[in-house]
Amino acid sequence: MDKLGSVNFLELTVLVDNTPGREELRSAWGLSILLRTDSYMGLFDTGPDPYTLQHNMNILGIDPKSLSFIVISHDHWDHVGGLRYLAEAGARCHVFIPSSAIDLGEWLQRHGFTVTRVDSRTEVAQGTTVFLLGNFIDELSMVVTVKNFGGVLLVGCSHPGIERIVETAHGIDKGLRVVIGGMHLLDASEDRLRRVVEVFRRYSVDEVYAIHCTGNVAVEYFRRNLPSYRAGFTGLVLRYST
């Protein structure tokens, strides 16, 4: 774990999710998660539109110009729509995108962002690594290593398969303890859901926040069969430290 580097604390705030939470925040079909550590403030995905992201960032007092970096898991509308607000608000930070997202990269560069196209495991900040997996859709996932705690995995939609993503993340940080994000299990069979639960148990994941595109059937299955399942929603705040 020390070879990876680490952060002393991590705070995650779900800025955008389908499920409403705090009544003053807007929810929408999409995903955006803010990360704060002792060394950076970053953003994982931006939700489906500029208005939802702008409203929620304003309510929470988050200055887009203070972002150290943005990671875009994949270039679907419900993950990139908020970029327009960030560009208009003067954010000019580093943006990490899948190497196959060519049009997105060109748009970002035209709007003054520094772009890194990721095709392998890449460190984006202290203690923070992204990795690319693909099948029919290339997607970045992120692992943050918190000193003396373990790894926290952020996923966008898990198009390459949440099982495969968790296994890969465990290869990066064998102390993986938390998984949060969309898991794209809308049409999953009970047999598939059983395999997903087995993977979370195999790697001793303590907390699973299955949000965004996971699907109601999968969420209910997790409620019944996965003790580590936790409810996620817009406005959820999670804190991890040494």
- Domain of residue 125: give its range: 2-232
36-65 confidence digits (pLDDT tens): 999 999 999 999 999 999 999 999 999 999
50-63 b/e (C-beta count within 10 Å ≥ 16 → b): bebbbbbbeeeebe
Per-residue pLDDT band for 3 (boundaries 50, 70, 90) equals low
240 assigned to some structural domain:
no
State how beta strands 176-182 and 150-155 pair: parallel
Q: How many structural domains compose the chain?
A: 1
Helices (H), the chain: 50-60, 77-80, 83-88, 102-110, 162-172, 190-202, 216-225
Q: What is the pLDDT of residue 135?
A: 81
- Within a domain: 74: yes
Record the tokens describing residue 229, joined without a space.
Answer: 């399942």
Digit-coded pLDDT (tens) for 166-191: 999 999 999 999 999 999 999 999 99
Query: What CATH number did the domain enclosing 138 receive?
Result: 3.60.15.10
- Please count the residues of the chain: 242
Within a domain: residue 32? yes
> Looking at the domain assignment, is residue 201 inside a domain?
yes
**Is the pLDDT at 158 greater than 50, yes or no?**
yes
Q: Which residues contact 68 (CB under 8 A, 6 or more apart)?
A: 40, 41, 42, 93, 94, 125
